[in-house]
Structure 1
């Protein structure tokens, strides 16, 4: 059994989508980042960087004590390796997945998050910042679009690399992007969205948010989560 510490944001969706794709049972542990749950001492024991998602694996493969993991990329690699799915066996194929997973963690997620913040939630509209991050997201979308010219997925077969990138691409409008400008990316996006596990993982926790706290939640999430 996996305990998933989660709030419905792009980084949270990465893990809920992967768990649904794996068909692994899990217990949802909401972390309301709009109310500051991420700063609670008990959560900081699991995620010292006060960010969700995080997991606790109550039944690790070594039969030892439960394992807690923070950082969405680390969580995805752990789960995919443990259940031997969505992460290839061969070294060269693993390198392909690793590159695109790290690309998302170091580039697409942070840049898209900054675009969310400055376009939608910053108290002052700073055109330089809006243009900088909107244009950088467009560049990153262009990288994916080029990559997808001759393949269906980012790193060979459908993998955690795609599951890491897709939730951030699902916020394309908030990032000032039009998927029609990136036809290969659009096809990839639609192909993944057609997967039942993706739809289910994307909807996890949708009942947790309401209009009264959406602004606070999304503003916090826009920077990292």
Structure 2
């Protein structure tokens, strides 16, 4: 049986004042910049704290997995900070959209692998340095209890990516992986592991799409009664 894991604390910083989608052209590109599209946020940042296995942590994980458009990625970056390398430009911080999409793709692949059940806790851990986009590391803090008669272990990280990857893994170890809606393909939390849709709207949309894709299936068929075209075909066969 898995032992209870210490809590993980994310010490993050974010602008929280919005974002801009900017294009860095050849004239602005420097030796450490590539020509491309970036998310720009203000340099001034506000610190925040999120503890693992809380509603706030779950909200952050779902938000990044469901961030598919440039604006959704920008809104996430403004609220939580950058998942990847930040570069200074135009008096603020820039993160390349292509790099950000790649990192988000790594998190989605991790979530899908965990949902498929292709994940186990390695014990003992492999020797040597672990080179993997899903390998995460923390600082271990011993936090004094209120009565000062002991300490509570807590992992600390300043990396948003590390925190989100850890949250996905601990959810899977606790048999609570995030599910994917079969209609809109958004990630969702659900009390039932067999839940396939995030809303009645998506369930109905999937039902309509399934019926429309069936060959020879008429949309006019209602409550088990044959459609008008089917009735006419049957009548013609009888007359013959």
TM-score higher than 0.5 here? no
Q: TM-score, normalised by structure 1?
A: 0.29
Give the TM-score, by structure 2 length: 0.28
Specify the structure having the higher radius of gyration (Cα): 2
User: Could you say which structure has the higher strand fraction?
Assistant: 2
